[in-house]
Structure 1
């Protein structure tokens, strides 16, 4: 009995896009000669078309006509009031690149569950509400990168993926940069009893900062008073700060925090115990938010340019979509802003 061979699968626009390393929309632009496209991108697409012997059909033309010219950003926050200053600056950077090129930004807020995120991304992709998405808050065991590939949704991560995932991304080099400068600043002021309170260890960025803190302390021959992983909420920061300050005989003289809001909550916890910042406790935040300059005392903080990060990731994503925007420049290394919340140990 003879069984007929299975018919070969027809090459699709998705196959061409995958081989060229671009979006399906970019392939459509090249094939149809519409819109702006960089010569390098066009050459990759044309080479992939030749290698796969692909010819466009009506579906490819329909794809070109159905572009939304919208970029998606899904944030795991319980509500708009919880977006935070850093995310607002990131959005400002995104808009500064997208708006002049007639792209919109669709902000999607979801609860802190993987299922809610997955539903959000599937909705955006299947309803063709967006042409691509910006990803934030890289996690260990992150399933979003594989999900984007299965949905055929172009995506760029602002941060570093775990386990070498090939998702397009950009970040500071190294990801924990700036925390080492904060520790060295405290060492120069004579502090040796230093603690760190940062974000959760399932976040790639948070763990990188913890590791940078521990490594810088070890290089100085010192053991941290504590290196604490918690969530980024001010409430958790105040609680863990209070426990450190209440511990007999091991109170730190300085604390480095994983964000400015955490540091501000830490100052409040110290004051509620009768301590004076920086006379009794030096405090350093992370992000360098403008509001820090107006606190009493002004907050010493590691400044990381969130607006620049937003601009860079927008340019990278538009490049994947076939827009001729050029490569984003390398991100500036975070640097320490020395203000009034740190002083020599007494």
Structure 2
């Protein structure tokens, strides 16, 4: 325990925070010159610091000056695909909109979904002191990234929901499977009783929660027959599953997909196979991408604000670092955007 020359205990940042009636991060923001603290609160913090004889230690100042002012982000793509998905692009735009005005950079890495390779990547980031913190996405069951980053003492937040309790903050809507109730209700109101969900890989937590939400929405409605199939989120698999479902004896009259690109692939496959959308089968996507307005018919979709999700994740990691600007962004429950690809259920045997 450190003491002053007169024998009294040396004040700490926690003492200043308690004396001013604020959080430690607020004290840090005032003395670091980051974030937005009101003049009245700043005055209280400075008064408390003077009364306690506290100032940031030289070691702390040195640590601040060593900051990289960069945040790391890994996004994934399949081995045979070069481009980043549209929803990932929206998230990146949201992150940049928060980081850039504060002169923080984004260190972006596009990688295959290989957890061992990614863990090595984070270890290299830490050893080279290349970022101040990282934003994690796409949580999976048995995800080891959280414990590894905690052990490495690397500040991190998860955009999404983990499968189990983790030693890091996370940002997501509540409940994590939100957005599945509205498309099911919409289809039921239009007379559909056979509804299929073409979902993603359920090792990914978001896919698992969406499948559970779909099952629950169907179970809450007696007389509705629901079927869920799992894919790798690829457009090719979505098209294949669409044809398999529509060629079955008890074919569904409506299809909900885990993403808009999957829905567009499924809609095209159905039309090439002789099915009319929405006369023979209704189609709903998920994400609310602008490209859904440029297909025929226009795609009914569950709109999820990727830019806002990126902003929320960026704010959260900056808050961990004591540099968050303004108010915390609030995520909205995904909403159904009705367009031309859904209609009344057809008469089927």
- Which residue does 1:135 correspond to in 2? 136
Matches within 5 A, 1:125-274: 125-222=126-223, 224-247=225-248, 249-274=249-274
Q: In structure 1, what is the Cα distance between the partners aligned to 2:308 and 2:315?
A: 11
Q: In structure 2, what is the Cα distance between the partners aligned to 1:37 and 1:61?
A: 17
Give 1:314 deviation, angstroms: 0.7
Q: Is the 8 A contact 2:161 2:172 kept in 1?
A: yes
Q: In structure 2, what is the Cα distance between the partners aligned to 1:202 and 1:324?
A: 32
- Which residue does 2:295 correspond to in 1? 295
- Which residue does 1:97 correspond to in 2? 98
Q: Is the 8 A contact 2:218 2:226 kept in 1?
A: no
Aligned to 1:82, the other structure's residue is in SS state: coil
Q: In structure 1, what is the Cα distance between the partners aligned to 2:126 and 2:76?
A: 18
- Which residue does 1:35 correspond to in 2? 33
- Which residue does 1:13 correspond to in 2? none
- Asked if 1:122 corresponds to 2:123, the answer is yes
**CA displacement 1:71-117 (0-9 Å, x = unmatched):** 11011224783311000000110111110110111111111211111
Give 1:65 deviation, angstroms: 2.0
Aligned to 1:207, the other structure's residue is in SS state: helix
Aligned to 1:313, the other structure's residue is in SS state: helix
**CA displacement 1:7-60 (0-9 Å, x = unmatched):** x9xxxxxxx99xx9xxxxx98x949933326779x98xx9xxx9xxxx9574x4
- Which residue does 1:67 correspond to in 2? 67
Give 1:258 deviation, angstroms: 0.5
Q: In structure 2, what is the Cα distance between the partners aligned to 1:116 and 1:265?
A: 31
**CA displacement 1:258-302 (0-9 Å, x = unmatched):** 000110111011012111111111000000101101110000000
Give 1:62 deviation, angstroms: 3.8
Aligned to 1:227, the other structure's residue is in SS state: strand
CA 1:273 to 1:233, structure 2 compared with 1: closer, same or farther past 3 Å?
same
Q: Is the 8 A contact 2:156 2:317 kept in 1?
A: yes
Q: In structure 2, what is the Cα distance between the partners aligned to 1:230 and 1:82?
A: 20
Where does the alignment leave 5 or more consecutive residues of structure 2 unmatched?
2-12, 18-23
Give the 4+ runs in structure 1 shifted more than 6 A.
Answer: none
Q: In structure 2, what is the Cα distance between the partners aligned to 1:324 and 1:303?
A: 27
Q: In structure 2, what is the Cα distance between the partners aligned to 1:131 and 1:279?
A: 53
Q: In structure 2, what is the Cα distance between the partners aligned to 1:31 and 1:206?
A: 38
- Which residue does 1:341 correspond to in 2? 341
CA 1:266 to 1:37, structure 2 compared with 1: closer, same or farther past 3 Å?
closer
Q: In structure 2, what is the Cα distance between the partners aligned to 1:182 and 1:129?
A: 43
Aligned to 2:164, the other structure's residue is in SS state: helix
Q: Is the 8 A contact 1:170 1:313 kept in 2?
A: yes
Where does the alignment leave 5 or more consecutive residues of structure 1 unmatched?
1-7, 9-15, 21-25
Aligned to 1:236, the other structure's residue is in SS state: helix
Q: In structure 2, what is the Cα distance between the partners aligned to 1:145 and 1:267?
A: 38
Q: In structure 2, what is the Cα distance between the partners aligned to 1:123 and 1:139?
A: 22
